[in-house]
Structure 1
Amino acid sequence: MKSFYKIEDPSKRTFPSLYGFRTPQNMDEYLKLKAKQAEVIVREESKGLGDRRCQGLLSHGLNKVRMFEDFAKDLSKSMS
């Protein structure tokens, strides 16, 4: 995430955690891609499991994205 604040050129930013997804241009796009990634992971990991388990996994994944969002806000404030 720090690359958004330290690297001006979007083409030089790297996001190993977003393997298989396009490079985001801004923090909002990054967070949307992380949410989409969480949905993809849950879809793959919950095959054959019930709806309740699927919802639990999705909730857990989206909570991680919210933590990223909070971290990004704090990081943005400290870099300003």
Structure 2
Amino acid sequence: MQAQRALRESLDLEARIRNTVHPYLVDGLEETDSVYSPFAGAARELGYEGDPTLEPSPFFTTLHGYRTQFRHKP
């Protein structure tokens, strides 16, 4: 039961992140002075306040993956 709950929560979080970042990918990412650039808008919407200077930053790793996948869609 715990494993099912953990998987469901993980899938729900993934969908929330994907749905949040998708409009920014469609409209084009904007470089800013924010430490979250070019994903500052998505970070703000997601309420992400983690330290992006940590290596590797899970925030940037995840959103870079979505950007890469978006670029390679036919």
Q: What TM-score comes out, normalization by structure 1 length? A: 0.35
Query: TM-score scaled to structure 2, two decimals?
Result: 0.37
In terms of fraction of residues, the more helix-rich structure is: 1
* Structure possessing the higher radius of gyration over alpha carbons: 1
